[in-house]
Amino acid sequence: MIRRTLAAGARASEAAAKVQGRVLKALDTPFLSRRLGDWPAAHRPVSGAWVAAAPTPPLGVESAEATSLKLLSFNIQLGIRTSRYRQYVTKGWKHLLPHSRQAGNLERIARVVAGYDLVALQEIDGGSLRSGFVNQVEYLASKAGFPYWYAQLNRDLGPLAQHGNGLLAKVPPWGLEDHKLPGAIPGRGAIVVRVRCRGKGILVVLLHLSLGGRARHLQLAYVRELIRGEAHAVVMGDMNSHLSRLLFRSPLAESPLRPAAPQQPTWPAWRPALALDHVLVTPGIRVDDYAVLDCHLSDHRPIAVTLSPH
C-alpha cells in the first residue's frame, strides 16, 4: 500500500513539475534575465515566475494600484501546531508522515493569511508523503483567495519531502526570482519579487536563513547584494537570529536596512521568548502598522506589517 502511494505521489510530482516548467518558461521576464548575469555561476539564481491560481494579467498591463500594502511573514512548520518543547520529540513523526489534524490546521492558517496582499511562507511542503501529496502553497492560495502563488523547492527528497518557501499574492507581480542561498549545506532559499504601490516599485525579499552563524553570514552578504541600489526594499522572513546581530554584526551593517519596528518575540508560539522573525526595510519605505499576531498554529507567530513607499 505504501509503495503504491509513493509511486502515485512521485508520478503526480513529476507531472506537476512538467506543467510548472512550462509556466516558468512562458512567464520569464526582462527583470529576471537582467539579474541573472550579476552572480557567479555557483550562486546564480534559477529564474522563477508566478504560477497563477487564476488567469494572470499580461505583463506590462497597468492595473489599479494600492496606496499601501499589507504584508505577512509566517513560518507555518508544515502545518504542524506545537504547544510544548517536548513535542519536538514526541510529535516529531509529523515532520515525516501525514496526520489527521494537518488539514484542519491548514484551514485555520488560510483564514489568518487571507487578509493580506502578500504573504511570505517558510517551512512549507510542496507535495510529498508527509503532506498527503498536497502542495501547501497552492492549497493556501486556493483556500484564502490568492490569484498568484509560488512554491520554492529548497530540499528535494522526492516523494518523502518537498521542503521550501512559499509566496502568496493578491497584487499583480512584474518580476520574480528564485535564489538558492549559499551555505555549506544546501537547502536555504530566497524569493525576490517586485510589486507596485503608489506608482513606485518595491523589491521584496522573502527568505529563511540558516541556523549556523557562518552560513547565515554568507547568506546575509548575498542578500545585501540583492538590495544594493534599491530605494524601496523589504526583507522579511524567519532569520534565525536576533535583530542586533543581523543589523550590527553581519554584512547587513553595510546596507541601509533598518527594522520596521522594535523587535518583538515570535518563538516559541505558545510562549514567545525569542525574536527570530523580522521585517527589515530601506529608508524609502514608510511603515504604518506592525504587529506580531497572537496566533498559535505553528511553532512561530506571524508578523503583519502595513507599508508604502515614500
pLDDT single digits (tens) 102-129: 889 999 999 999 999 999 999 999 999 9
pLDDT of residue 66: 79
Q: Please give the share of the chain, as a percent, with pLDDT higher than 90.
A: 70
Banded pLDDT at 14 (limits 50, 70, 90): low
pLDDT at 73 > cutoff 90: yes
- Give me the residues paired with residue 286 across strands: 308
Q: What is the mean pLDDT of the chain?
A: 83
Q: Which residue has the cell 488567469?
A: 55
Q: Which residue has the cell 550562486?
A: 43
What's the whole-model pTM score?
0.82
What's the rounded Cα separation, in Å, for the pair 240 and 212?
Answer: 9
Closest listed residue to residue 77, CA positions, set 138, 121, 107, 111: 121
CA 282 to chain centre: 19
Mean pLDDT, residues 224-251 taken together: 96
Mean pLDDT, residues 210-221 taken together: 96
133-150 burial by CB neighbour count: b if 16+ within 10 A, else e?
bbbbbbbbbeebebbbbb
Mean pLDDT, residues 168-176 taken together: 91
Query: Contacts for 223-226 with beta carbons within 8 Å, 24 or more apart?
Result: 223/190, 223/251, 223/252, 224/251, 224/252, 224/254, 224/255, 225/38, 226/179, 226/190, 226/192
User: pLDDT per residue over 34-45, tens digit each?
Assistant: 232 232 333 333
Across 46-55, 92-101, 154-163, least confident range: 46-55
Banded pLDDT at 94 (limits 50, 70, 90): confident
What's the rounded Cα separation, in Å, for the pair 192 and 206?
Answer: 6
Q: How many CB atoms lie within 10 A of CB 20?
A: 18
pLDDT of residue 225: 97
User: What one-character DSSP code corresponds to residue 94?
Assistant: G
Q: Between residues 68 and 38, which one has the greater pLDDT?
A: 68
Q: The C-alpha cell of 144 is what? A: 484564502
Banded pLDDT at 7 (limits 50, 70, 90): low
pLDDT at 2 > cutoff 60: no
What's the rounded Cα separation, in Å, for the pair 222 and 39?
Answer: 10
Domains detected in the chain = 2-309 (3.60.10.10)
Q: Is 223 exposed, middle or buried (0-12, 13-18, 19+ CB in 10 A)?
A: buried
